[in-house]
Amino acid sequence: MRGREAAGLMVATLDRDAYVVRFLRAYANDHDRPAIITQPIFHRELMGTVRREALLAMATHVDELAPQFLVLGGGAAIQPGARIGSTKSKKGRGGTKRAAPLRRGTEIARQSAAEAAALNLFREEFFSALGQALRWTQAEFEEFARDYDLYESAGGGRNVPARGGKAAASGPFVDRCGLLLDPSMLEQARRAAGKFEAQLRAATLQALKRVFAARREN
């Protein structure tokens, strides 16, 4: 159920808080590009395409963040890249510490399998609920899935160190959104898209915190 709740809250947050509207309005005002918001047909189409890219970015962030929130067997939250299972040795007779590698290896294997199963279930629930919330056709869902695979294979959004120690925005969302937003001023648009993606990442994190906090309280 957490995957379904996360999908619903993610879409509700994106639309209720008008992230895309505020982003386009801010860019138009800050960079003197009034056509972005004053031409109704162009603005409507741009809203739809940027919203879709925002959903792709948020879905990618959900997949990155979910392991931090999933809890197995009442234990600690899974951390990305962390080894699962007990690695502590046990004391034998005479107080000498002896490891139990076979038992420990079995525990790790079982919990790793449980981790994978939990993540897969969460993802299945999430994407199924996302498609339902957005009323996608099968073709639309498959197209979104293909673009999502592109985001995943490219590593999602990330900050790459640039000259002078500053972080330069990069990644599929920055590239695609920048091109949609203002192709004639691409680097300017990419920088704005990078800041927007940071807002989407923060919103995604808060949505997951709400979902998993509510589940713990219940």
Average pLDDT (194-206) is: 96
Instruction: Report the SS3 class of residue 135.
Output: coil
Tell me the residue length of the chain: 218
Q: What is the average pLDDT score of the chain? A: 80
> Greater confidence, 83 or 167?
167
- Amino acid identity of residue 16, one-letter, is R
Confidence of residue 115 (pLDDT cuts 50, 70, 90): confident
> Greater confidence, 16 or 90?
16
Instruction: Report the SS3 class of residue 209.
Output: helix
CB 77 within 8 A of CB 84: no
CB 8 within 8 A of CB 58: no
**Nearest-angstrom CA–CA distance, 26 and 15:** 16
Q: What total of structural domains would you count in the chain?
A: 1
Q: What does the pLDDT read at residue 103?
A: 55
Average pLDDT (80-98) is: 40
- Is the per-residue pLDDT at 11 higher than 50? yes
- Is the per-residue pLDDT at 43 higher than 50? yes
Confidence of residue 74 (pLDDT cuts 50, 70, 90): very low
β-pairing verdict for 97-98 and 158-161: unpaired
Give the contacts of 124 (CB within 8 A, at least 6 positions apart). 3
Q: What does the pLDDT read at residue 176?
A: 95
Q: What does the pLDDT read at residue 216?
A: 58
Domain that holds residue 46: 2-217
